Amino acid sequence: MAPNIDSLLQSLTLEEKVSLLAGRDFWETVPVSSKGIPAIKSTSHKPTNPSLLTSSLYLTTSDGPNGARGAVFTGGTRAACFPAAVCSASTWDPSLSRRFGNALAEETITKGARVLLGPTMCIHRHPLGGRNFESFSEDPLLTGKLAAQVVKGLQEKRVAATIKHFAANEQETERLSVDEIISERALREIYLKPFEIAIREANPWAVMTAYNKVNGTHCDSHPLLLKKVLRGKWGWKGLIMSDWGGVNSTVESLDSGLDLEMPGPTKWRSSKVVSKAVEQGLLSESAVTDRARNVLELIQKVGGFENPTIPPEQSTDKPEHRQLIRDIAGQGLVLLKNANNTLPLTKEKTSGKKIALLGFAKEALIHGGGSASLHAHYKISPWEGLHAAFTDDVELHFAKGAHTYRQLPPLGSNCTGVNGEPGWTVELFEQGQKQRPIHTDYGRKESVFSPLLDSSAKWKDVRMSATFVPTQTGAHYLGCSGIGPTLVYINGEPIFEQENDCEDAMGFLFGGIPEKEFTYLFTKDQSYDICITSSPPTGGDHHAGILSGIPGFRLGFMYHEQHDEDLLSEAAEIARMCDFAVVFTGHTPVWETEGQDQLSFNLPKDGSQDKLVSAVASANSRTIVVNSTGVAVAMPWLSEVAAVVQAWYPGQEAGNAISDILTGTVNPSGRLPISWPKRIEDTPAYGNFPGVKKGGQLTVRYKEGVFVGYRHYDRLAKANVQFPFGFGLSYTSFKLKDASVTQEASGTFETAISVVNSGQRSGATVVQLYVGAARISADHPIKSLASFKKVFLEVGEEKTVTLSISLKDFAYYDEGSSSWKVDRGKYDFSFGQSAASIEQCVSVDVEGSCQL
């Protein structure tokens, strides 16, 4: 039976209330057993020592945005991998988001968790954002509407949603300390609006703060964000937790409204420190009580007091989840080009033909890197999906075609430790004392020392050594990186040195840190003593975050013949002999990941994928590109290929969903939730991403203001955009006609428009309603998305779509009066199938409004 929260709070001492406000260890909050308060256990937001995973208390939190991973970060209990948020957003279908939330809740419960760390709902400010794929869109309305439905889907099954990261977490570069200078108007209209929509429409039970600063103040203690807006103007009551390692103060964070510091043990909220602050009048006890209340109310909301036990993690592979994943991916894939109706590859076109499947055809790019990664139940590659779809008289041929690795694979084969057994020897030392090890471990399989496995090495120096016997003579390739200063020796001579910390410790963990390759001349069958030494990062918490003090490194190796192998010629030759060629391009999780922004607008590695597409297109005029990234990328070969499909990260059913689109089993209906520029120089944040560093502080100025995405491109020539926001092709065609707008006395607007399927196949399109002042002003976007609806139609069918909007849906934030305004005047209500394709426009005289 759930206790009365007020009575429970009255029974707690100040020390007991303080103990609730931070973690006991990496996952668990501190229980107050004598008062019947269990712990909240966080199982999987960030990795640490797996030996701690044996603890099992009643409530767990789990990543993440596209699946409930469970306790172990790598290789743990299998889980359903759903499409990434950007793929889900491409459906433009809130009903699918609701179903996704329901399924995600069911998955969360199988992992013994009742709080999910998601959805992620920051804005796609720049195409190089490393974590864009986890978020929905460049548009705040589309983001907010879809995220709200995910929240509803989760919480109606009594699993708490944690919307994140609040706020303006649009880059990974120095994310722990970067200071983002944003006007209040841009903050309100673009970066806070999706959170506001989710708060007002779905009431999420938890919010996670961002690592970064906004206008000089860290988000975990930001009075404007947490007190004035979130808990003040929006009137939201729920639990605010920090991102892991994202607390930067004691009094300020508590007073601003941050309820829970994670992980533990606490760095900022010891009973002694908080009690002293209360005694000195720096912090009121009522503030501590309010923070504790929110922790207890979250426990109550998810049923923790009623059922204080959890079952062990399970891997439950539900057929209905499989189908939902395939459905979301099928509606999220976007057909960007289809010259001469090259697609679909129907039986009539392909019977008795040869098809080349190249590039990532045999790899399933199902998710990005970092918190979104998980151990999927299974993953279907395009090769597998198309093999299942085509009849036996279709010949499929494969070639890799391009080198796409980011880091050389770790060295493991032909290595012997100091004990004469296979593997590497690891020795730990007190810092600066490398004469006598305090711990020795034998038999490490590879030249990797990972914080994921070795958190016990905190504040220790590490030495890893082995004798390596190469099987080939030559100048072979090596690459090394470390969290802290790292050295590599061969036969006692230093061959590599990293003097400083890496840029982002979590980026290192997720494989997103670039390594400089170098060569060393080896002789076949000769013995080489290799030694790697590394120290903890020196830059402090702002550099390493939760991995502060923990060393980590990796040494990669590749024989020169493999490294320099010509993969391109084989792919071009196979393409030449086939009737169709499908090139699968994209980013693997180490190329697009938490902890690291994109290095380039072009596909990796070093132009290899662009060269592959061009070579194949030269050899075969019916070349199709299927691209799997969470962001827009350069397409220098676009005019050379016949068709392009943007597949995003479509989850574990990737190959089947891609096959459905390519073969025409599913008519593509995905529409871009982002603008797709031709050049990085044309993007609104160009020159202001990821910022400028002065005096050790990275600062990024959001100089583009409210002109993000299509709001920016609307002011430029259409030639600057490769594909506009909201764009997507179909195997049929649609027309919009007979638009009408009625202004109601209540200040709402009732709109209607007819949609006709004028093509030869059933399918779906998205009706998009944009509103903007008829008189163009340099201070305001030409138009903004105000509403949308996806509509399915049979051949020749006509439907009337009605959309209702309010003044707030196209108001702007006036900083002078601190209010939302709609100026009096004429406004264009524009109906289209993309931001650049307006088919109907109705002008309406609006009286205007002001809302404080």
Enumerate the active-site residues. 243
C-alpha to C-alpha distance for 28 and 53, rounded to whole angstroms: 11
C-alpha 121/C-alpha 132 separation (Å) is: 9
Distance CA 24, CA 731 (A): 56
In our burial notation (b when 16+ CB lie closer than 10 A, e otherwise), range 231-258 reads beeeebebbbbbbbbbbbebbbbbbbbb
Give the three-class secondary structure for 37. Answer: strand
Look up tokens 């100026």; give the residue: 823
DSSP of 266-317: -SS--HHHHHHHHHTTSS-HHHHHHHHHHHHHHHHHTTTTT----PPP----
End-to-end CA distance of the chain: 42
DSSP 499-563: -S--S-HHHHHTT-S---EEEEEE-TT--EEEEEEE---SS-HHHHGGGTT---EEEEEE-HHHH
- 620, 580 Cβ separation under 8 angstroms: yes
Whole-number Å distance between alpha carbons of 404 and 583: 14
Residue pair 821/849 in contact by the 8 Å Cβ criterion: yes
Burial of residue 521 (number of CB atoms within 10 Å: 0-12, 13-18, 19+) = exposed
- Rounded to an integer, what distance in angstroms lies between the CA atom of residue 466 and that of residue 488? 12
Residue found by looking up tokens 């993969």 in the block: 567
Distance, CA of 355 to CA of 353 (rounded, Å) = 7
Rounded CA-CA distance 71/67 in Å is 13
Taking each helix axis as running N to C, give the angle between helix 608-619 and helix 568-577, from 0 to 180 degrees, rounded to the nearest 10: 30
- Among 790, 569, 823, 580, which residue's Cα sits nearest to residue 89? 790
CA dist., res. 553 & res. 591, Å (int): 18
The full DSSP string for 250-269 is SHHHHHHT--BB-SSS-SS-
Q: Measure the CA–CA gap between 5 and 413, rounded to whole angstroms.
A: 59
CA–CA separation, 774 vs 472, rounded Å? Answer: 71
Strands 825-834 and 837-846: antiparallel
Residue 128 makes CB contacts below 8 A (sequence gap 6+) with: 597, 598, 600, 601, 631, 680, 689, 690
Phi/psi of residue 419, nearest 5 degrees: -90, 5
**Tell me, what amino acid is at 314?**
Q
> Which residues have CB under 8 Å from 414's CB, separation 6+?
468, 469, 470, 471
Token pair 């303080």: residue: 18
Count CA atoms closer than 13 A to 262's CA, side-chain side. 28
The owner of tokens 């934030």 is: 813
Which two tokens mark 298?
């979250």
Nearest Cα residue to 93 out of 789, 646, 767: 789
Q: Give dist(CA 655, CA 628) in Å, integer.
A: 11
Full 3-state SS string of 497-509: EECCCCCCHHHHH
Which of these, 761, 843, 838, lies nearest to 796 by C-alpha position? 761
Is the CB of residue 696 less than 8 Å from the CB of residue 540? no
